A = this chain, B = another copy of it.
Amino acid sequence: MKVIQSSKNPVVKQWKKLLTKKGREESHTYIVEGFHLVEEALKQQDTVIELIFIEGTDLPGKWNLDGVDLIQVSEDAGKALADTETTQGVFAVCRQKDASDINGKKFLLLDGLQDPGNIGTIIRTAEASGIDGIILGKGTVDPYNPKVLRSAQGSHFHVPIIRGELAEIISVLKEKGIPVYGTALEGGEEYTSIKPRDSYALIVGNEGNGMSPDTLSQTDQNLYIPIYGKSESLNVAIAAGILLYYFKNGQ
């Protein structure tokens, strides 16, 4: 076990970079905070690199720390890493998944989503629906943003999430014979016109503007969810939930 006494220690400085998108992208790692998320991370193989705890924090005896660097830090060093106001004093530095982690035949693609809470809820819902991988296009908020991590409640550890160029990903999916469905408020077909299937890629778009016209033009088919009342639209996370469970259990 290492011990770090000061928030000025260069190691702490490195960790603090993980609170920024740039720092996470450069190191291909991210940091999670709190007992629930750290415990979920530890359950996964090859995920946690370092476990950091503020001196005096009790670590559950059941945690398997084999192969994990254990680092005790002073309170001020720990607080420097915290994204929450009252930190639980425990953090894990985790490895990001990459394209080689993605296998399967059910995918969700996010095109330009901006709200971390929406993205976290969508990740949680997609994982619950049994999706094999989630790919975020360039305009979408970083999935390893602390707010996204909190709102996904640990689903990051149960489904591969990567960033990518949607146009390239869509080409690869099509080559593999996986049908690619976009979503649009107007145009396209009612979602119930397609049959549930065990192979698909679903794309949902930006909260205000929907999918980009470019991405929409590359899909096999675009779907919409009818509005039977007077609302102008559904929340994008709700729409994703309806479609993912429809694809699964269908009509």
Which residues from chain A sit less than 8 Å from chain B, CB to CB?
121, 124-125, 127-131, 153-155, 158-159, 192, 225, 227-235, 237-239, 241-242, 245-246, 248-251
Contacts and interface: CB of A to CB of B under 8 A. Distances in A.
A235 B121 contact: yes
Contact of A229 (B121, B158, B192, B237): B158
Closest 7 CB pairs of A and B: A130-B228, A238-B241, A128-B231, A127-B229, A158-B230, A242-B245, A128-B227
Nearest to A117: B117
Nearest to A231: B128
10 contacts: A124-B231, A128-B231, A154-B231, A155-B229, A155-B230, A237-B237, A238-B238, A238-B241, A245-B246, A251-B251
A154 B233 CA distance: 11
A235 B238 CA distance: 10
Contacts of A246: 245-246, 249
B158 A128 contact: no
Contact of A158 (B154, B155, B231, B234): B231
B229 A234 contact: no
B153 A229 contact: no
Nearest to A248: B228
Contacts of A242: 241-242, 245
Contacts of A153: 231-232
A205 to B, nearest CB: 17
Contacts of A127: 229-231
B248 A131 contact: no
A228 B124 contact: no
Interface centre among A153, A154, A231, A251, by most B CB within 10 Å?
A: A231
Nearest to A245: B242
Contacts of A234: 124-125, 128, 241
A231 B246 CA distance: 18
B225 A130 contact: no
A247 to B, nearest CB: 11
A230 B128 CA distance: 6
Contacts of A239: 241
